[in-house]
Chains A and B, each alone.
Chain A
Amino acid sequence: MEENTVIKVKNLTKQFGAFTAVDGISFEVKKGEIFGFLGANGAGKTTAMRMLTGLSYPTAGEATIAGFDIYRDTEKIKQEIGYMSQKFSLYEDLTVGENIRFYGGIYGLSDELLETRTEAILKNLELENERKTLVASLPLGWKQKLAFSVAVLHRPQIVFLDEPTGGVDPITRRKFWELIYQSAEEGITIFVTTHYMDEAEYCDRVSIMVDGRIDALDTPAQLKVQLDAVDMDEVFLKLARKATRADG
C-alpha cells in the first residue's frame, strides 16, 4: 500500500453474542483526509470507531492505524490518535487551562510545549480571558471546540470525532468545521461521524453504514451521481431506508 494510508481496515467484525454490530467492513483512509463515517442510529458506527480507537476488541478482521496493528500495538496507537466522544469529555470542575494542562500532560508534553500550545489554543479559540474559567460555565459550542482542540493537542496523526457537533446551532457547527479544516491542513487525518448531512458535504470522502456494513463509499459528489440524488440528504435516505435493523 501507499505510504500515506493511515487507516487500513479489512473485514473488521464485532459480534455481541448472536448480534453482529459490525459486519466485515473494509476501507482505507489517506493522510490528511476528512473521512465522513455516516450511518443511521444503530448502524454500527460507534462500535466500529471504538474498535479503531482501542476501546473494544474486534471479533474478527484486521486493521492498522498509523501503521500499527489494532490487536498488538494498541498502546502505540494511543499515542498517535486523538478522540472526542459524543459524551462531552472535558472535566467540568477544572478550568479551561487545567483541562488543557491535564490532557497535554498525560500525553507526555513537556512544560514548555504545554505552555506554548495552551496559549495557541486559547488564542485560536479566542478564549484568552477564560483560561481560569471553569469549563462548566462555558457555552456548549465553546466546550466542543475546546474538546476538539484538546483532542489534537498532542498532534496525533488521526483524530476520531464521534458526533462532535450534537446539539449546537448551525453557526457554531460551521465554526467547529473551520477548526477541523485547520487541523486537516496541518496533516491530521479526520475521521468523523455525524448525523448532519450538510457536514457530510464538507468531507473529502464519505462512507455510509447500513446494518453493520458499508453500503457506499465515495466523495459526496460521486455519491450523488451514483444514487441520482440532489444532495447528501437524499443519498443518505435512499441508502438508510434499506436498513432492516431497528433503531437503537
Chain B
Amino acid sequence: MRTLRFLLEKEFRQIFRNPAILRLIFVMPAVQLILLPMAADYEVKNVEIAIVDQDHSPMSRELIAKIDGSQYFELTEYSDSYEKSLETVELDKADLVLQIPPNFEKNLIKENESTLFIAVNAINGVKANLGNAYLANLIRQYNMEVRLEWMQLPKFNPFPMIEITHSNWYNPFVSYPLFMVPGILTILLTMVGGFLAALNIVREKEIGTIEQLNVTPIKKYHLILGKMIPFWLLGFVVLTIGFLISYLIYGIVPVGSLVTIYVFAALYLFGILGFGLFISTLVETQQQAMLFGFFFMLIFILMSGLYTPIESMPDWARLIAELNPVTYFVEVMRMVVLKGSTLHDITRHLVITGVFAIFLNGIAIWNYRKRG
C-alpha cells in the first residue's frame, strides 16, 4: 500500500506539472461540447430556396408567402426565369428551386389540377432531401386549404383520409444537443482513459524509467494500479466538467440519476484503461501509441451509434458495433440522460461492460511482461 502511495504521489505530481495534459482535461470537454453539437447538426433549417413565379397570380403569391413564412425556408431568389434560378443553384446560393408554371391558378380552377416543379441541389444530400420533404409537406398543406375552401363539404367526407399525428417522447423538441451531448461525453472519457494512460506508460518506456522501475521490488499490480488510478480519477473530473458545461450551455439536466451514470462510468473507465494499458504493451514509442489510438478511436466513434444509428448498419457492421465498448456507454448515457433509466434498466450494459473490462485488463496484464 505504501508503495502505491508513492507511485500515486509521483503520478499526480507529473500530471499537474504538465500544462499540456491539464489543458487537455479542461479545454477538450469545453471545445468538443460547444462545437460538435452545434456544427454536426442534422436538423435542417434555413433551406435556401429560389422561386420562379411565372404565374404571378394571387394563388402563387399566397403559396410563396406560406413558404417564406415557414421557419425552414429562406427565400434567396425570386424571378420569372428558370435559367436564372438555376444560376443561383450553381453559385450555391439556393438548395431548392420551386417553379410555379404559367397558368398555375387557371389550371387549378378550370381543370382542378395543376403542376409544380421542384429542382433540388443534391450536393448536400441530407439538406436537399429534407428540404424537399418540407416543401412537399407545405404544398400538401396548401393544397388541403385550397380544397377546403372550394369544396362544398358534404355530410360525409367522400375521401376518407388518415392523418398521422405524432409526439416525440423523451426529447419532445427533438433537440439535437440533447441527443449528441451525452454521446460526446463518452468520447471524452474514452480519450482520457484510453489515450492518456497509454501515452503515459509509453512515455516511461521511451525515457527508460520503466526499466528502472522493473529492477525495483515494485509489484506488477502496484505499478499497474499506480498508472490506472490517476487516470480513472481524471475520467471522473472530465465527466463532471462535461456535465457542468452541458448544463450551463444547453441546460441539460439528466432525467435519471447521476449516480447511475457514475457507477457505469466507473466500470467503463476501468475497461477502457485496460485497453490503454494493452496498447501500451504493444508499442515502443508515443508516436506508435498515437497512431494505434487514432485508429481505434475512429472505429470507436463511428461504430458506436453516436452519429449513425446502429440499427441501420449492415449486419457485419452491427457486429463490430456490438463489440465496441463505446456503444454501450453511448446507449447508457442517452438512456439515463434522456429517459431517466435506472441501474436496473442498464443491467445488460453493466454486465457486458464488465466482461469487456475483465477481458481488456486480462490481455493487457498477460501481455505486460516484466521480464523479456
Query: Which A residues lie at the B interface, using CB under 8 A?
Result: 53-57, 74-75, 78-79, 81, 83, 85, 87-94, 98, 101-103, 105-108
CB pair B17 A108 closer than 8 Å: no
CB pair A98 B13 closer than 8 Å: yes
CB pair A108 B3 closer than 8 Å: yes
C-alpha spacing A142/B42, complex, angstroms: 60
For A75, list chain B residues within 8 Å (CB).
217
B214 to chain A, nearest CB (A): 6
For B208, list chain A residues within 8 Å (CB).
85, 87-89
In the complex, 9 of the A-B residue pairs with CB atoms within 8 angstroms, ordered by the A residue number, are A81-B215, A87-B207, A89-B207, A91-B14, A94-B10, A94-B17, A105-B6, A107-B217, A108-B3
C-alpha spacing A103/B212, complex, angstroms: 10
- Given the contacts A57-B371, A78-B215, A88-B208, A93 and B6 also touching, CB distance less than 8 Å: no
Chain B interface residue count, CB cutoff 8 Å, equals 24
Query: Which B residues lie at the A interface, using CB under 8 A?
Result: 2-3, 5-7, 9-10, 13-14, 17-18, 207-209, 211-218, 371-372
CB pair B212 A83 closer than 8 Å: yes
For A56, list chain B residues within 8 Å (CB).
371-372
For A78, list chain B residues within 8 Å (CB).
215-217
For B209, list chain A residues within 8 Å (CB).
89-91
Excluding A54-B215, A78-B216, A93-B18, 20 further A-B contacts by CB distance (< 8 Å) are: A54-B371, A55-B215, A55-B372, A83-B212, A85-B208, A85-B211, A87-B211, A88-B208, A89-B209, A89-B212, A91-B10, A91-B14, A92-B207, A94-B13, A94-B17, A102-B6, A103-B216, A105-B2, A105-B5, A105-B6
CB pair B217 A85 closer than 8 Å: no
Residue from A85, A90, A91, A107 with most neighbouring chain B CB atoms (10 Å): A91
C-alpha spacing A92/B206, complex, angstroms: 13
C-alpha spacing A106/B214, complex, angstroms: 11
Contacts between the two chains (Cβ within 8 Å), count? 72
For B372, list chain A residues within 8 Å (CB).
55-57
Residue from B212, B218, B372 with most neighbouring chain A CB atoms (10 Å): B212
Who on chain A is nearest to B14 by CB? A93
C-alpha spacing A170/B139, complex, angstroms: 91
CB pair A85 B10 closer than 8 Å: no
CB pair B371 A107 closer than 8 Å: no
Who on chain B is nearest to A91 by CB? B209
For A83, list chain B residues within 8 Å (CB).
212, 215
C-alpha spacing A91/B206, complex, angstroms: 12
CB pair B371 A93 closer than 8 Å: no
For A90, list chain B residues within 8 Å (CB).
209
CB pair B14 A55 closer than 8 Å: no
A152 to chain B, nearest CB (A): 13
C-alpha spacing A106/B225, complex, angstroms: 14
C-alpha spacing A29/B212, complex, angstroms: 23
CB pair A55 B9 closer than 8 Å: no
A106 to chain B, nearest CB (A): 5
For A101, list chain B residues within 8 Å (CB).
6
A9 to chain B, nearest CB (A): 17
CB pair B9 A79 closer than 8 Å: no
C-alpha spacing A230/B13, complex, angstroms: 53
CB pair B212 A85 closer than 8 Å: yes
C-alpha spacing A175/B26, complex, angstroms: 46
- Given the contacts A79-B217, A102-B9, A55 and B3 also touching, CB distance less than 8 Å: no
For A94, list chain B residues within 8 Å (CB).
10, 13-14, 17
Give 7 nearest A-B pairs by CB, closest first.
A87-B208, A105-B6, A89-B212, A83-B215, A78-B217, A102-B10, A79-B217
Q: Which of A54, A85, A98, A106 contacts B7 (CB 8 A)?
A: A106
Q: Which of A74, A89, A91 contacts B211 (CB 8 A)?
A: A89
For A105, list chain B residues within 8 Å (CB).
2-3, 5-6, 9
